[in-house]
Amino acid sequence: MKWSQFFIQTLREAPSDAEVVSHQLMVRAGFIRKVAAGIYNYLPLGLRVLRKIEDIIREEMNAAGATEVLLPIIMPRELWDQSGRWKVYGKELLRLKDRHERDYCVGPTHEEAITSLVAGELRSYRQLPLNLYQIQTKFRDEIRPRFGLMRGREFIMKDAYSFDVSEEKAMETYRQMEKAYRRIFDRCGLQYRSVEALSGAIGGNVSHEFQVLASSGEDEILSCDHCDYAANADKAQVRSEAQGQKTSELLVCEKVTTPQKTSVEEVAQFLNLKPYHLVKTLIYVLEQDQSAVAVLIRGDHEVSEGKLQSLLNGATMQLADEKTVQKVTGGPCGYSGPIGLKGISLYADESVRSMKNFVVGANEAEVHWVNANLDRDFKVERFADLRRVQKGDSCPRCEKGRYQSHRGIEVGQVFYLGTKYSTPMGVRFLDENGKEKTAFMGCYGIGVGRTAAAAIEQNHDEHGIIWPLPMAPFSVEILSLHKGEDEVLREAQKIYEKLTEKGIDVLIDDRNESPGVKFKDADLIGIPWVIIIGAKSLARQEVEIKERRTGQKQTLSVKMVVDKIVEVLNA
């Protein structure tokens, strides 16, 4: 490709809303341009990167026995009613009406569409296993789109869906997909970890995320420093440790005033207790119907909203605002408590189960109950593991190590779905004995744009991007340091043609720009290998090659350069 004909617009400054380096560099290097919040144009360089990643994904998915399809972006409401997700998906689902006032949505994921397709075609166990994938634009109306392609609203995803005759076979497929994902991210040249994860709005109960390790990552990953257990912090299991509360005698529950004490620490100190003698009551509002639920958690713990979402069957929720808290509890924010709370589901973290004589809010300003006790003073509808574990907590698997914390960018996730979609949407087949059975499913996503962004987070320096070769928009860039139509440009073009004939992706900077501009732009766009051709060295029949990652240069004879490039690209 010739730079002079290609559409590359580099910028000196990053836009002010670009907080992370991948966003800054993708805009500055002319890979993307913003259209609206979380919606981007992919310029030619950016598109080439996405296509390279897609090619790797396609090869590995095909090799793993999956087949490519393309489903619609817009789907009718009826499909989403069948799965029950029209109601629970919340505001991320962009809903729209056609001219006949019929409801549609823009696909944020395609379980419904694929399940309905397969339900209509499946007759016999002989058609299984089946694994279908697509690479397509998704839309999620994210509450905070940011970080460029990392958290967009419109983005490209590879999504695959598998159908098997039994749970056992479906888990085999799941493990094959996990392996295929490892090959994909290995081939992309990324440092990543596969960690246990929650299933969120997708559903199911077994899931792994592929997390690219980067300090700018939005996710916290916890890994044991002794065994190989690693999980998203939202999901990481808790090792139950009974704390404090030795006395088993139930004391008299009474109200105390706690003037101007709002935080757990302040209240605990005022009452001469520890934070773990308190139980916090948090009010959440479900997006689907604006109903509220209360969650009880020990004073020194935090709620994992992911675990809560799993408990609520994937429904999305948010912490209630002041007005709602007042309406639901009759008291102000910060003083909510379970005693006397009516008409609202009450869930509690497991660690609350063994507590005695604890402190809770009294749903009145500056008042708390002390010596509150389960069952006697209020009833909990359900106990569950709702706690977000922290770095330093002990590992529940080996019971020897402690959790270490890392930041990660989730580039892919695999889910075992069981029959969550196949039962309501009727994906049935006749087994070997002519008996009707329901298919077992899995689904598997990779964010294509997010993978590109994650690669930049891991591979850059102060001058620009350093693309891993497999996803670089071009493998080689030729810097022709010519002045007008001279010998330098002619020689550069010859090398360009020879490399192109060999099937190598080459970009030639044939612009009439100064060497300084060309060197700066080359560093910025980050092509792994650069061939530099200038008048002085050419007079000696020599050129230079430079590796972007190390900055190391080598001088070579003009005759040798093509072979040398072939050699380094295959190394």
Which residues contribute to the site for ligand ATP (CB under 6 A)? 109, 140, 142, 151-152, 155, 157, 200, 202, 410-413, 445-447, 449-450
The CB-of-33 to ligand ATP minimum distance in angstroms stands at 17
Nearer to ligand ATP, 35 or 539 (CB): 35
Q: Is 109 in the site for Mg ion (CB under 5 A)?
A: no
Map residue 348 onto helix, strand or coil: strand
Given ligand ATP, Mg ion, none, residue 468, with its beta carbon under 5 to 8 Å by kind, binds: none
Which CB, 136 or 537, lies closer to ligand ATP?
136
C-beta of residue 94 within 8 angstroms of C-beta of residue 105: yes
Q: How far is the CB of 24 from ligand ATP (least distance, A)?
A: 17
The phi and psi torsions of 392 (rounded to 5 degrees) equal: 95, -20
Task: State the binding partner of 202 from Mg ion, ligand ATP, none, CB within 5 to 8 A by kind.
Answer: ligand ATP
| 142: partner contacted, choices Mg ion, ligand ATP, none (Cβ within 5-8 A by kind) | ligand ATP
Q: Which of ligand ATP, Mg ion, none does 157 bind, CB closer than 5 to 8 A by kind? A: ligand ATP
Q: How far is the CB of 152 from ligand ATP (least distance, A)?
A: 4
* Residue 351 binding: pick among Mg ion, ligand ATP, none (C-beta 5-8 Å cut-off by kind): none
For 412, residues 6+ apart whose C-beta sits below 8 A from its C-beta are 181, 184, 185, 209, 210, 444, 445, 446, 447, 451
Q: Which residue number, 52 or 208, has a Cβ lying nearer to Mg ion? A: 208
CB closest to ligand ATP, residue no: 447
Quick one: what does residue 203 bind among ligand ATP, Mg ion, none, with the CB cut-off 5 to 8 Å set by partner type? none
The residues pairing with 94 across neighbouring beta strands, listed in sequence order, are 106
Q: Which residue number, 3 or 192, has a Cβ lying nearer to ligand ATP? A: 192
Burial level of 211, CB count in 10 A (0-12/13-18/19+)?
buried
Cβ-based nearer residue to ligand ATP, 122 or 157: 157
Stretch that binds Mg ion, among 394-402, 405-413, 516-524, 540-548 (CB under 5 A): 405-413
Nearer to ligand ATP by Cβ, of 447 and 526: the residue is 447
Q: 408 or 464: whose CB is closer to ligand ATP?
A: 408
CB closer to Mg ion, 359 vs 443: 443
CB closer to Mg ion out of 198 and 472: 198
Residue 422 contact among Mg ion, ligand ATP, none, beta carbon within 5 to 8 Å by kind: none
Shortest Cβ distance from residue 209 to Mg ion (Å)?
Answer: 6
Residue with Cβ nearer ligand ATP (211 or 459): 211
Interface with Mg ion, residue 413, by CB under 5 A: yes
Cα-Cα-Cα-Cα dihedral of 453, 459, 465, 471, to 10°? Answer: -60
**Euclidean distance between CA atoms 15 and 147, whole angstroms:** 11
Rounded least distance, CB 170 to ligand ATP, Å = 18
The least distance separating ligand ATP from the CB of residue 154, rounded to whole angstroms, comes to 8
CB of 26 to ligand ATP, least distance (A): 13
Q: State the binding partner of 416 from Mg ion, ligand ATP, none, CB within 5 to 8 A by kind.
A: none
Kindly state the smallest distance separating residue 549's Cβ from ligand ATP, in Å.
Answer: 25
Nearest of 241, 237, 236 to residue 354 by alpha carbon: 241
Length of the chain: 571
- Cα–Cα dist 120/118, whole Å: 5
Tokens of 235: 């999901």
* Ramachandran quadrant class, 565 (left: phi over 0; alpha: psi -120 to 50; beta: rest): alpha
Query: Minimum distance between the CB of residue 171 and ligand ATP, rounded to whole angstroms?
Result: 19
List alpha helices for 96-159, DSSP H: 111-121
Q: How far is it, in rounded angstroms, from Cα 211 to Cα 348?
A: 30
User: In the Cβ-directed half-sphere of 268, how many Cα atoms lie within 13 Å?
Assistant: 15
Q: Can you point out the beta strands (E) in 373-466?
A: 382-384, 387-388, 403-418, 428-430, 436-438, 440-447, 460-461, 464-465
**Are 176 and 164 within 8 A, CB to CB?**
no
* Positive or negative: CA dihedral 311, 312, 317, 322: negative
316 sits near Mg ion (criterion: CB under 5 A): no
DSSP assignments along 44-106, one per residue: HHHHHHHHHHHHHHHHHHHHTT-EE----SEEEHHHHHHHTHHHHSGGGSEEEE-TT--EEEE
Q: Which is nearer to ligand ATP, 200 or 424 (CB)?
A: 200
Nearer to ligand ATP, 170 or 184 (CB): 184
Tell me which of ligand ATP, Mg ion, none is bound by residue 412, counting a contact when its beta carbon lies within the kind-specific cut-off of 5 to 8 angstroms: ligand ATP
Q: Using only the alpha carbons of the chain, give its radius of gyration.
A: 29
Bridge partners, 553 (sequence order) = 546
**β-strand 292-298 against 279-286: which pairing, if any?**
antiparallel
- Choose between 351 and 413: whose C-beta lies nearer to Mg ion: 413
For residue 319, the number of C-alpha atoms closer than 13 Å in the C-beta half-sphere is 11
Residue 222 contacts residue 391 (beta carbons within 8 Å) = yes
Partner whose footprint covers residue 199, from ligand ATP, Mg ion, none (CB < 5 to 8 Å by kind): none
Place of tokens 């076979």: 169
What residue has token string 């257990």? 229
Q: How far, in Å, CA of 361 to CA of 339, rounded?
A: 8
Contact of residue 164 among Mg ion, ligand ATP, none (CB under 5-8 Å per partner type): none
Residue 155 interacting partner from Mg ion, ligand ATP, none (CB closer than 5 to 8 Å by kind) = ligand ATP
CB of 41 to ligand ATP, least distance (A): 16
Using CB under 5 A, count the residues that bind Mg ion.
Answer: 1
- Choosing among Mg ion, ligand ATP, none, which partner's interface includes residue 361 (Cβ < 5 to 8 Å by kind)? none
**Least CB distance from residue 236 to ligand ATP, whole Å?**
15
Minimum gap (Å) between residue 217 Cβ and Mg ion: 13
Residue 450 CB, nearest approach to ligand ATP (Å): 4
**Where on the chain is the footprint of Mg ion (CB under 5 A)?**
413
